[in-house]
Amino acid sequence: MTTETSEQTQKYLGLTSPVSTSEPTKEDSRLTESLELALHPHGVFESEDESQKRINVLDKINKLVKEWIYEVSQSKNMDEHMIEQVGGQIYTFGSYRLGVNQKGADIDTLCVAPRHIDRNEFFTTFYEKLKKLSEVKELRAVPDAYVPVIKMTFDGIELDMLFARLALQAITKEQDLCELSLLKNLDEKSVRSLNGCRVTDEIIKLVPQQESFRLALRAIKLWAKKKGIYSNVLGFLGGVSWAMLVARVCQLYPNAAAATIVNKFFLVYDQWKWPQPVLLKHPDSDEAAKQGLSFPEWDPRVNHKDRFHLMPIITPAYPQQNSTFNVTNSTRNIMTMEFKRGLEVTNAIFAGKDDWESLFKPSDFFTRYKHYIVVIAKAATADHQLEWNGLVESKIRFLVANLESIDHIILAHVSTESFCSKSEDDEQTKWFIGLEFGRTDNVNINLTDQIRHFTSDVYHKAVNIQLYKDDMVLDVLHVRKKELKNYLPQDVYNRVGLKKKSFVKRNSLSMSPNNDTGGNSPDVNGHNETNKNSSDSSVPPKRARLSDSQSSDNSHIVDFKNSGSGRSANDSPITVRINNHNSFFRAKKNGSVVTESEYLPQQTLTIL
């Protein structure tokens, strides 16, 4: 490589030279203007009043942090002059720091304190200080999380607040968190908390044109939410991962307009050879080693577990981490399918055959599959439900992975949209997982082990972290598409375009391999009037229902046709069996476990 070529390469950001440095054409600029107009109806831009409210809330929180640090410093009998200098600061990261936060979005914040303030004080004295404020609602501390956090709503704005203690005597507002030397003598939890800000600031530095990046990222985030693939906790991608994917495309097309970035985004990731990692820069490992730092970082050459990551997107700040370790086979397949669809739509837009609104059409999740798993978390009080929801949702990706392990399930698709409801007895939240089956001969599929493993894991975790309460219940059910009316809110049921059908009793499950009721309608209990009194043993059972009597195997069994794509009327039926998983585990207040033999199932299956 010549010196001239080397100098030319160094002018550009990223690991490689750009694919194209072409300037935007008039048509590119026109399409970018139309893209911005198309985004406005979806609420991706805040009004000035809303932006000012966020600034005011952050200012109040910042003053509160300084006041708290001052009080803690006094309690430790520090010199008054030193107390005046110790400071403390609130930093923002994520979408707000990137300048792409939407209406009603939360703000990710980091409380940075000097060395004499520890994390335990943050989760005790600062938490108690927050509890006394009338502006603070839905306050929740999660000190044992991988990244410890306090969650709250402050004056109507949702806030997540992390904590990091630096090995410094004082924290000023000019403190740059990107300095590697700051990581010396810090524990791993502080480093992980700091990384939110460090990663966000690195992304900003590594993007050639901020304006194009921000508009393109707004469009991609909206698209991802509409398609139901925006959720780190459920195994898709979170905000920082989408930001890094867009940033890499901006590096490859440094002069492109936002509309072009969106189109090239789908082109690049439709062709990407996963699990080849996406990186924005060379890792800082060598420089970190020179400074004596040795925190764990993503490196499949060294770390065996890193070799199994399916869709690695590597953060640009030391210690580099994979932001997508939650991705499963199903979620990766769903996202790659959406990349391909997005490319088709944006190519049509650039050809003048379509418009941007087509890109933002909602997902067809509730009409795409014939069979669904419904996960229902219930609790008697709002506070208990808030805690229970968080735990159950964090474990759903493991249920998806468990379902994927079954040979005949080719896709387990979890919807990122959950639904909350409230009754006199309890509050509950529902999540839905669509199932697609491969072509197969006559086969019996038993989901019991996967369901039991999931429910047991959730209950045991709740007990171990002392979160479990007697009113917390977890149900996992199988339903057909036509039964979704009994589980979805009416407005959602109408919105997704499901055909209205006669009401199906909540626990009534069809058993007919041919889906045939002999031309007669079942009664309210799921009986077929013609067959329910038949004594002909040669006639196979047509109907199953849940009853209060106990069957021999305590199971829910469902026969149905293969539900993958391209099924014919002659396909062999699959039998799905879900034993009564709720009898597998029950936790008591004292933390002991009631085994299946000690706990009678509330509902069992009876073949009629």
Q: What does the pLDDT look like over 94-117, one tens digit per residue?
A: 999 999 988 888 999 999 999 999
Q: Are residues 357 and 368 in the same domain?
A: no
Assign residue 99 a region (left: φ > 0; alpha: ψ between -120 and 50; beta: otherwise): left
For residue 349, is pLDDT > 80? yes
Q: What is the DSSP string of 150-195?
A: EEEEETTEEEEEEEEE-SSS-B-TT--TT-GGGGTT--HHHHHHHH
458 domain-assigned: yes
Residue 260 belongs to domain with CATH number: 1.10.1410.10
- Say if residue 434 carries a ligand binding annotation: no
Q: Are residues 233 and 89 in the same domain?
A: no
160 is known as an active-site residue: yes
- Say if residue 230 carries a ligand binding annotation: yes
What domain range is 274 assigned to? 14-43+207-362
For residue 558, is pLDDT > 50? no
Between 102-106, 352-356, 511-515, the lowest mean confidence (pLDDT) is in 511-515
Annotated catalytic residue within 28, 73, 91, 160: 160
500 is known as an active-site residue: no
Q: Are residues 218 and 336 in the same domain?
A: yes
- Which position has the token pair 């207040």? 589
For residue 605, is pLDDT > 50? no
Q: Are residues 222 and 350 in the same domain?
A: yes
574 domain-assigned: no
Residue 426 belongs to domain with CATH number: 3.30.70.590
pLDDT of residue 531: 38
Q: Would you say 274 and 336 are in contact if contact means Cβ atoms under 8 Å apart?
A: yes
Q: Would you say 446 and 427 are in contact if contact means Cβ atoms under 8 Å apart?
A: no
578 domain-assigned: no
Annotated catalytic residue within 189, 201, 212, 221: 221
602 domain-assigned: no
Q: Are residues 358 and 231 in the same domain?
A: yes
Annotated catalytic residue within 73, 95, 190, 193: 95
Q: Are residues 392 and 467 in the same domain?
A: yes
355 is known as an active-site residue: no
Angle at 500 between CA 496 and CA 505, to 5 degrees: 110
283 preceded by cis ω (within 30°)?
no
pLDDT of residue 577: 55
Between 31-40, 121-130, 423-432, the lowest mean confidence (pLDDT) is in 423-432
Considering 142, 166, 201, which residue would you say is the last residue of a domain? Answer: 201
Considering 302, 336, 362, which residue would you say is the last residue of a domain? Answer: 362
Buried b (16+ CB within 10 A) or exposed e, 336-350: eebbeebbebbeebb
Kindly provide the residue ranges of all beta strands, DSSP E only, lying in 38-148, ordered along the sequence: 89-93, 107-113, 136-142
150 domain-assigned: yes
583 domain-assigned: no
- Say if residue 43 carries a ligand binding annotation: no
Best CA proximity match to 498, nearest among 508, 488, 509, 512: 488
In this prediction, residue 4 has a pLDDT band, given cuts at 50, 70 and 90, of: very low
- Say if residue 103 carries a ligand binding annotation: no
pLDDT of residue 5: 41
- Say if residue 146 carries a ligand binding annotation: no
Annotated catalytic residue within 17, 34, 106, 281: 106
221 is known as an active-site residue: yes
- Say if residue 118 carries a ligand binding annotation: no
598 domain-assigned: no
pLDDT of residue 425: 86
Cite the DSSP H helix spans in 291-446: 329-350, 365-368, 382-404
Q: What pLDDT digit, counting tens, does each position of 67-79 carry?
A: 999 999 999 988 8
Q: Are residues 211 and 355 in the same domain?
A: yes
95 is known as an active-site residue: yes
pLDDT of residue 18: 95
Q: Are residues 51 and 186 in the same domain?
A: yes
- Say if residue 375 carries a ligand binding annotation: no
Residue 186 belongs to domain with CATH number: 3.30.460.10
pTM above 0.85, yes or no: no
Q: What is the mean pLDDT of the chain?
A: 82
pLDDT of residue 252: 97
CA distance 584 to 92: 44
Question: End-to-end CA distance of the chain, in Å?
Answer: 79
Q: Are residues 215 and 303 in the same domain?
A: yes
- Say if residue 93 carries a ligand binding annotation: yes
Q: Are residues 54 and 194 in the same domain?
A: yes
The count of domains in the chain is 3
pLDDT of residue 603: 31
Q: Are residues 61 and 37 in the same domain?
A: no
593 domain-assigned: no
Considering 496, 531, 559, which residue would you say is the last residue of a domain? Answer: 496
353 is known as an active-site residue: no
Between 57-71, 172-186, 532-546, the lowest mean confidence (pLDDT) is in 532-546
- Say if residue 270 carries a ligand binding annotation: no
Q: Are residues 388 and 306 in the same domain?
A: no
Annotated catalytic residue within 108, 201, 306, 559: 108
CA distance 343 to 267: 6
Percent of the chain with pLDDT over 70: 79
